[in-house]
């Protein structure tokens, strides 16, 4: 993001789609308010609307905030279904017709991993805090086995039932990957297996007595029906006391399930903040609207879905810092200041570079013009003290700029770098060679040259720079795509 982009006044729009968990508009508004505090700019909550009302509302929001000086809008859909960008069409058409700058960015839809992260993290933290308080009051009570039970309706049609079943299975699978120590179960209220009676029977067999009831795609009426059904299965009167996202139930105490407000957990803001940053890295949606448009024209073909697909394919091959960019990538060498020394007479290697990415992205020239070759054992033995000084300085510089552990090699003339794994070492070896610095590898350890005649301003700087640039590129770009 350049300095001009950073100065754009921005407003975020949280757009609720089909409700998945029990949550009131007031609860979602609380999320929007906390996100606004985090972003330091307005965040608007937009409830689920039909197409025409949604289009009118989005257009009026863009007009209102554009008149107040806001130039950038970030729409964050909350749901699972693909976002319908056509609802934004009238707002984009208006800005084009009025020749008004209004950049509208769309965040990626939530996926099952996002919902799993939100639900399981907030549930675990809520119940852990409750259990810790109970443990202080009842220190002799042994810890109980815990289960998260995700419950949904069977669906009015076979298609609805299958869709919901796939969702619950995917959500359960994502939660199991988090290895939280919780048993994960799901059940249907009617018509579909597994049903509530079967799941509760299995939990009895497994001696699971602490249960969190999480409702998925159930409205308040269905939740009341659910609690009546559970009450009948357990010979209890279980009315719903207040709206909540989930309920914690200790089945041994026969007490009423206690409500859990999952959206109050900070993880909700964390997920939305990531979606927000991801949206800002994308191209404005107006890029995909054909220029020759009229306000009354509702032809879907006016959206360039072919161009959008092309951009997505291009972005999938680009490092994260270049996704969504349309500016020119420069191929000049990475910038660095003249070598300076701190109060201890040492070079602050982690502070001397101005950039890494454009050179690496554009395939510019290697860092060295001539190959820095391996140093022979005989050369090292001619001045062991100077050699150890060079090796120590290379190690210090590499550790400062990469936070990787280093070691002096048993084979004289080399400094070892411990990579995160063998795949990283293989990639770095190839990349450093391209920088015209000799390198070799033993499993996950890389070895770069060190010699007694190396100087700070030339060979030592060459080695540290080549390692710094390639490690930065591996971590900040390639690894984010894995």
What's this model's pTM, rounded to 2 decimal places? 0.64
Looking at per-residue pLDDT, the higher value among 332 and 27 belongs to 27
The pLDDT confidence band at residue 50, using thresholds 50, 70 and 90, is confident
Confidence of residue 18 (pLDDT cuts 50, 70, 90): confident
Task: Compute the distance between CA of residue 237 and CA of residue 60 in angstroms, rounded to an integer.
Answer: 48
Q: Is 53 helix (H, G, I), strand (E, B) or coil?
A: helix
| pLDDT, greater one: 366 or 350 | 350
Neighbour-count burial of 245, counting CB atoms closer than 10 A to its CB (0-12 exposed, 13-18 middle, 19+ buried): buried
Predicted confidence band of residue 445 (pLDDT cuts 50, 70, 90):
very high
366-411 per-position pLDDT tens digit? 555 678 888 888 888 989 899 999 999 999 889 988 889 999 888 8
Can you give the pLDDT at residue 92? 74
Say if residue 479's pLDDT is above 80: no
Q: Count CB atoms within 10 A of the CB of residue 35.
A: 20
How many Cβ atoms from other residues are within 10 Å of residue 300's Cβ?
A: 8
Query: What are the pLDDT digits (tens) for 297-328?
Result: 544 446 676 777 777 776 665 555 556 655 55
pLDDT of residue 395: 92
What domains can you pick out in the chain, each with its CATH number? 3-110+266-322 (3.40.50), 113-256 (3.40.50), 349-481 (3.90.1150.10)
Q: Rounded to an integer, what is the distance from CA 265 to the centroid of its chain?
A: 17
Which tens digits make up the pLDDT trace of 262-278? 999 999 999 999 899 88
User: Using the 8-state DSSP alphabet, how is residue 263 labeled?
Assistant: G
pLDDT at 363: 45
pLDDT of 13 over the 80 cut: yes
User: In angstroms, rounded to a whole number, what is the distance separating the alpha carbons of residues 106 and 96?
Assistant: 18
């Amino acid at each position: 993001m350049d300095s001009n982009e950073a100065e754009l006044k921005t407003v975020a729009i949280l757009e609720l789609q089909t409700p998945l968990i029990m949550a009131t508009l007031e609860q979602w508004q609380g999320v929007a308010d906390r996100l606004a505090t985090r972003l330091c700019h307005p965040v608007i909550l937009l409830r689920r609307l039909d197409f025409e009302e949604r289009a009118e509302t989005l257009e009026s929001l863009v007009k209102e905030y554009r008149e107040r000086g806001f130039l950038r809008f970030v729409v964050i859909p909350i749901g699972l279904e693909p976002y319908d960008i056509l609802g934004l069409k009238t707002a984009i058409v208006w800005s084009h017709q009025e020749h008004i700058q209004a950049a509208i960015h769309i965040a990626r839809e939530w996926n099952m991993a996002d919902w799993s992260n939100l639900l399981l993290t907030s549930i675990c933290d809520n119940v852990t805090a409750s259990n810790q308080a109970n443990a202080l009051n009842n220190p002799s009570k042994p810890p109980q086995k815990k289960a998260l039970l995700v419950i949904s309706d069977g669906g009015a049609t076979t298609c609805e039932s299958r869709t919901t079943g796939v969702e619950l299975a995917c959500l359960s699978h994502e939660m199991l990957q988090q290895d939280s120590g919780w048993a994960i179960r799901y059940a249907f209220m009617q018509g579909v297996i597994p049903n509530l009676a079967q799941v509760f029977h299995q939990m009895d067999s497994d001696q699971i007595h602490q249960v969190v009831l999480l409702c998925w795609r159930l409205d308040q009426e269905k939740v009341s029906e659910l609690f009546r059904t559970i009450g009948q299965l357990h010979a209890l009167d279980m009315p719903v006391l207040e709206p909540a996202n989930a309920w914690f139930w200790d089945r041994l105490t026969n007490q009423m399930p206690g409500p859990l407000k999952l959206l109050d957990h900070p993880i909700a803001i964390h997920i939305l903040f990531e979606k927000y940053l991801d949206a800002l890295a994308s191209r404005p949606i107006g890029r995909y609207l054909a220029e020759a448009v009229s306000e009354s024209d509702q032809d879907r073909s006016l959206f360039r879905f072919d161009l959008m697909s092309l951009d997505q394919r291009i972005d999938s091959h680009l490092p994260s810092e270049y996704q969504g960019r349309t500016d020119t990538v420069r191929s000049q060498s990475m910038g660095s200041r003249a070598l300076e020394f701190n109060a201890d007479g040492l070079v602050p290697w982690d502070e001397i570079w101005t950039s890494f990415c454009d050179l690496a992205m554009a395939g510019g020239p290697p860092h060295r013009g001539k190959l820095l070759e391996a140093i022979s054992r005989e050369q090292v033995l001619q001045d062991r003290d100077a050699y150890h000084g060079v090796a120590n300085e290379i190690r210090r510089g590499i550790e400062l700029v990469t936070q990787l552990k280093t070691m002096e090699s048993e084979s004289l003339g080399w400094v070892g770098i411990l990579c995160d794994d063998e795949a990283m070492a293989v990639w770095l070896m190839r990349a450093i060679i391209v920088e015209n610095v000799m390198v070799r590898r033993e499993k996950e350890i890389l070895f770069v040259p060190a010699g007694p005649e190396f100087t700070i301003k030339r060979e030592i700087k060459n080695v540290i720079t080549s390692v710094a640039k390639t490690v930065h590129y591996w971590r900040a770009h390639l690894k984010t795509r894995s």
